[in-house]
Amino acid sequence: MSNSSLGRVSFIVLRHMRTPIIVFICVYAICILGMVLVPGVPDANGQTTYMSFFHAYYFLAYTATTTGFGELPVPFSNAQRVWAICCLYISVITWLYTVGKIISLLQNPHLQSAFAEERFTRAVGKKSRDYYLVCGFGDTGSLLLRGLTNAGLSAVVLDQDKERIKALDLRNYQSKVLGLCADATMPRYLLAAGIERDKCIGVLILSNDEEANLKVAVSARILRPDIKIICRSTSQENESEILAIGGDIHVVDPFRVFASYLSLIIYNPTIQTLNEWMSGEPGASLDRNICPLKNGRWILCGHGRMGQVVYKKLTRRGIDLKVVEPVSEKIEEIAEYAVLGRANLENLKEAGLKDCVGLIAGTDNDTFNLSMVHQANRENPSLFSIVRQNRHANEVLFKKADVDFILQPSLVIARMVLFMLTAPLLKAFFAHLRLVYENDPAKLADVTNRLAIEVGGDFPRLKTYTMCKNKASAVCSTLIEGKEVSLGDIYRSPSNRDNFLKMVPLVHQRGKVIKVLPVNDLALKEGDDILFCMRPAEQAIFEANLVNRYTLEYLLTGQDPARSNFFRWLSTKKLANT
């Protein structure tokens, strides 16, 4: 709990309530004193009676609140009645004034935000699971959170936009994601989001504001020198500044990631298909095969910030590319490969629409991209069209449109960050695949086939397992006893050890040594990391293999070990006799 925000709440309340409280106390004091001093009805002896303080307060309590009990301690004298009239008007007005003040105070936006911050800070402080701090809840942020929560990870969100935080509350994530509407560049809010807690295991900075991202990254690094930071950046200068912060820091550049995805689709669609299948893209399956389209001319519409990165990447790959761009300054450097003008049919024809293999509609305007592809398709039906989807909200339109490939930068980034967090070893896997493809494309098909046969289905799960005492107690204790455990043994099926579970080990890491697609004979050692790709249904069974000594023993030897002391004693007896 932060003292500062609690102090702020009480300060705001006190400052606003000071006048009403003082007025209230004075009015009560005057009324009670008057009631006590005013002479009442004489008693049986003719003595004038006076009201006691208790009765006066009691009378005022039900009068001032307009409750109006009929119960009076003693009938009033006329003098008391006159004073009662005064009391009634003054005190009722004071009450209304005070209540009005309280209500307006509750509606005070500062107080509300102070309360929200206080609630958020407390809830974050109570979090018992490891979580990521996500700054920026735009399209990328929301897609990433979906992935994170589906993978069983937890997160807290900071975003400046009130509407986005409201939207966060309405999302049906598997676990509740805490959000606060706050400017993450203010270190105070990073502290409120629990950046200094051990449970906070990473900061993901995903807003569109380059300056702000850099600021957040710097303050996060100062507050937690050891924490993992992933930061979005689209400019080279900014990127080098962010990387200069040092420590465990990664930069994702949406434009560059987008460009490399694009070149993957064109140059190496098999890896792209694999990537989509692993990210659990609906409808992605391993047998879908787009033939490589690297031979032939492509048209790129839009040479803005993203278009330039795409152009550079694709031409470096040796793809023949023609650019269509309406702003002349943007194509000064590549004038001979470009057509100046809007991407209408005329200009597309000039760029060689008739005999080109594909069109990349890559402007930052969704409607424009769609209409362009629509026009081009009519002219050249065999065209392979790749279209950039800028806004997640336009999903419906894009699904309906006759487009061969939709590339959504925010989704691409979200996936990439998600893989960095849940399966960091996957990078090595894909690097290996690219190498395989360069040397012998046929071998790539072997990998795909193996995955299709041994895992198969949709939505595979990627998970890294560490052979440590907590996660794989059975494996570790078997290793400590000096027995050998090989990689193939741990994912045998516990119902029949001759079969394997529906999973494939993708990458094995021991210290700095990384092996992609390790062989089953590989002898495991304590501390090894293994990235598995599996059917989600097999996860529980596999995890039981890792922690249950008896199951593991069966997997290793094919024999059920004696479970209790008596039977163990009996079996050693038997061994001794034979």
Partner 1 sequence: MNAEKVVFSFFIVLALTLNFGFFMGELHDFRHHNIYELFATIFVNLVAMGLKLGDRSQVGAVLLSTSIVANIQLIAAALVWGYVTQISGTGLNEHNTSAIVSLAGGALVANVISVVMLVSETLMSRR
Which residue, 173 or 554, is less far from partner 1 as judged by CB?
554
Which residue, 367 or 557, is less far from partner 1 as judged by CB?
557
Which residue, 434 or 549, is less far from partner 1 as judged by CB?
549
Q: How far is the CB of 530 from partner 1 (least distance, A)?
A: 24
Q: What is the SS3 assignment for 504?
A: strand
Which residue, 140 or 551, is less far from partner 1 as judged by CB?
551
Which residue, 364 or 543, is less far from partner 1 as judged by CB?
543
Which residue, 143 or 552, is less far from partner 1 as judged by CB?
552
Q: What is the SS3 assignment for 84?
A: helix
Q: Which residues fall within 8 angstroms of residue 490, CB to CB, at 6 or more apart?
A: 472, 475, 524, 542, 545, 546, 552, 555
Q: How far is the CB of 464 from partner 1 (least distance, A)?
A: 24
209: DSSP letter: -
Rounded Cα distance between 314 and 322, Å, is: 11
Q: How far is the CB of 557 from partner 1 (least distance, A)?
A: 14
C-beta atoms surrounding 367 within 10 Å: 11
Strands (E), 108-183: 131-135, 154-159, 178-181
Q: How far is the CB of 513 from partner 1 (least distance, A)?
A: 33
Contact between 376 and 356 (Cβ < 8 Å):
no
Q: How far is the CB of 493 from partner 1 (least distance, A)?
A: 9
Strands (E), 175-243: 178-181, 200-205, 228-232
Which residue, 89 or 566, is less far from partner 1 as judged by CB?
566
Which residue, 7 or 558, is less far from partner 1 as judged by CB?
558
Token pair recorded at residue 203: 């900061």
Q: How far is the CB of 566 from partner 1 (least distance, A)?
A: 5
Rounded Cα distance between 450 and 502, Å, is: 11
Task: Specify the long-range contacts of residues 174-183, CB closer than 8 Å, at least 24 apart.
Answer: 174/149, 174/150, 175/149, 177/145, 177/149, 178/120, 178/123, 178/124, 178/127, 179/120, 179/137, 180/116, 180/117, 180/120, 180/156, 181/113, 181/116, 182/117, 182/158, 183/212
Rounded Cα distance between 387 and 144, Å, is: 21
Which residue, 280 or 561, is less far from partner 1 as judged by CB?
561
Q: How far is the CB of 453 from partner 1 (least distance, A)?
A: 22
The DSSP annotation for 521-573 comes to TPBP-TT-EEEEEE-GGGHHHHHHHHH-HHHHHHHHHSSPPP-SHHHHHHHHH
Which residue, 332 or 481, is less far from partner 1 as judged by CB?
481
Rounded Cα distance between 459 and 278, Å, is: 7
Contact residues for partner 1, defined by CB under 8 A: 494-496, 548-550, 560, 562-568
Q: Alpha carbon of 263 to those of 117, 273, 386: distances in Å?
A: 44, 13, 11
Q: How far is the CB of 577 from partner 1 (least distance, A)?
A: 15
Which residue, 17 or 547, is less far from partner 1 as judged by CB?
547
Q: How far is the CB of 573 from partner 1 (least distance, A)?
A: 13
Q: How far is the CB of 442 from partner 1 (least distance, A)?
A: 38
248: DSSP letter: S
Token pair recorded at residue 411: 């989704």
Token pair recorded at residue 211: 């300056």
Q: How far is the CB of 476 from partner 1 (least distance, A)?
A: 14
Q: Which residues fall within 8 angstroms of residue 49, CB to CB, at 6 or more apart?
A: 39, 40, 41, 42, 43, 74
Count of residues in the chain: 578
Q: How far is the CB of 366 from partner 1 (least distance, A)?
A: 51
- For the chain, give percent helix, strand, coil, nearest 5: 50, 15, 30
Q: How far is the CB of 426 from partner 1 (least distance, A)?
A: 32
Which residue, 74 or 544, is less far from partner 1 as judged by CB?
544
Contact between 478 and 537 (Cβ < 8 Å):
no
Which residue, 45 or 496, is less far from partner 1 as judged by CB?
496
